[in-house]
Structure 1
């Protein structure tokens, strides 16, 4: 991710909107994975600690909360450092390597992105996630995934 990839305005939009989302980060993180597993149930099997939990019980699962808490901290760190290219690239390389070693299908990140943007729309409101903010988040997520995919090569 380079400073040329995201404008200062896009970084500010993403940071400001993430400040709203992270206030209810536990709920957002849990809902992200519940929605993801609902749309793509086969991916739940990639999570050994979650594989045998019925989807209807995931919302109250401490195992899911433990995972999503880590994901939310990682996302917050990424957003907080969007203006520090080298830090973000290193963070994403580590994320990609961790998921590659677990043999996760790299396409899962693309599919998660659709769910992520939909959930952002719900969390922020469709009137807030307008064209400019939607474009900023879409661009940010695309850059994140591009760097994660690099670690899979």
Structure 2
């Protein structure tokens, strides 16, 4: 659901996924690679949360994700687009269980992710 929201709001992001290029949103929603990628993203986010107490490790985890994505042309601007979609997605999925504190906490974490990816992007291009 998160990625479908991203693709609906920002169709240009679809082009960063070679398997989805030229496909409709309906075709993408049924593609078996979509849930696999979504699960990978959720596991990465879970690892970030699990390591909030160790900022050095957290930064290294995000850098690893950054390097693999930047190498495929998916830079910090795409991470920012995804982070902008998260609040509405959380409200949709969690409904009344979604609290302002949760949204704020996720916003802070995703802000860190975007900042680290942006920094790594600058390091890789200089």
Alpha-carbon separation, structure 2, partners of 1:110 and 1:68: 16
TM-score (norm 1): 0.73
| SS at structure 1 position matched to 2:52 | coil
Q: Deviations over 1:70-127 (max 9, x none)?
A: 11111111112221212211111111111111112421111111111111111222x4
Q: Tell me which residue corresponds to 2:29.
A: 59
Q: Tell me which residue corresponds to 1:130.
A: 99
Q: 1:131 to 1:38 in 2, by over 3 A?
A: same
TM-score (norm 2): 0.87
Write out the 4+ residue segments of structure 1 that deviate beyond 4 Å after TM superposition: none
Tell me, yes or no, if the aligned pair for 1:50 and 1:64 is still in contact at 8 Å.
no
Structure with bigger helix share is 2
The one of 106, 119, 122 equivalent to 2:76 is 106
Alpha-carbon separation, structure 2, partners of 1:50 and 1:65: 13
Structure 1 portions without partners, runs of 5+: 1-30
The one of 93, 100, 120 equivalent to 1:151 is 120
The number of aligned residues is 122
Q: Deviations over 1:37-72 (max 9, x none)?
A: 111111101111121332112222102122112111
Q: Tell me which residue corresponds to 1:40.
A: 10
Q: CA RMSD in A?
A: 1.5
Alpha-carbon separation, structure 1, partners of 2:115 and 2:65: 12
